[in-house]
Amino acid sequence: TPMYFFLRNLSFVDLCLITVIVPNSVLNSLANRSSISFLGCVAQVFLVVLCVGSEFPILTAMSYDRYAAICHPLRYETIMTNTACGKMVAASWLTGVMFGVLYSASTFSLGFCGSNIVQQFFCDVPTLLKISCSEDHVAIDVSVTGGVALGLGCFIFIIISYVRIFQAVLRMPATESRAKAFSTCLPHLAVVTIFLATAAIAYLKPVPDSPSTPDLLVSVFYTIVTPTLNPIIYTLRNRDMKYALGRVLKRDSLL
């Protein structure tokens, strides 16, 4: 179904985002070192922006899928066809690739002639701009403006979708149906809000000269916490997924 198709892509994006950041950070901690090669830093910036840029549209497509299922149940199969879902996911990945190329190219086209210490546990654009000696940041300003426009547009679309979903849910006669719909939609909306808010703060807030705990927590939230919460919200709260997980665990215990 479309819901599981979008969920599969969201899970893959979240897995990629965590894989790009966490293993290198853990290895640095275990080896008591804190370094990354230049090409590794370029790849990390590109992949992080690709994943974050892809996740925004995928979350938007998932909210539209829930809107179509709850507000237009009789037309759901004609609205969310395989072709339509494929185009949405393809557009999401292309958006991520476009922003990944744009951000990495505009960031590493700058000059780095001073300190090479990145005040972060991974390479991200704001901290790289902090150690750049270039005064002209027009290219990166254009990239950030495009990212803000994408995030704001996705957030507005998600809010509109959920307003209409909640209006439809409140008209449901059965209290149990309303409670089920709210328990599914509200956590999703909360995680989307946290993801967008922390990503916006990380990229729009001026980077301090020395890292602080709140700044690091903001980065952890949008790169690690929300990708980890997504499987809990979309998988463990889903009856079909819990049934499938139970079958797998039962089979493994028998083996």
111 neighbors 148 (Cβ within 8 angstroms): no
* Percentage above 90 pLDDT, the chain: 18
Q: What pLDDT was estimated at residue 81?
A: 92
Task: Tell me the per-residue pLDDT of 81-100, one tens digit each, with 9 for 90 and over.
Answer: 999 999 999 999 999 999 99
Instruction: Round to whole Å and give the CA distance between 130 and 121.
Output: 15
- List C-alpha distances in Å: 248 to 64, 229, 230, 245, 252: 31, 21, 20, 5, 6
Instruction: Round to whole Å and give the CA distance between 221 and 203.
Output: 13
Q: Is pLDDT of 138 > 80?
A: no
This prediction has a pTM of 0.83
Domain of residue 222: give its range.
2-254
Task: Tell me the per-residue pLDDT of 46-69, one tens digit each, with 9 for 90 and over.
Answer: 999 999 899 889 999 999 998 998
CATH code, 43: 1.20.1070.10
* Nearest Cα to Cα of residue 96 among 22, 157, 16, 23: 16
Q: How many domains is the chain built from? A: 1
* Nearest Cα to Cα of residue 168 among 35, 73, 90: 73
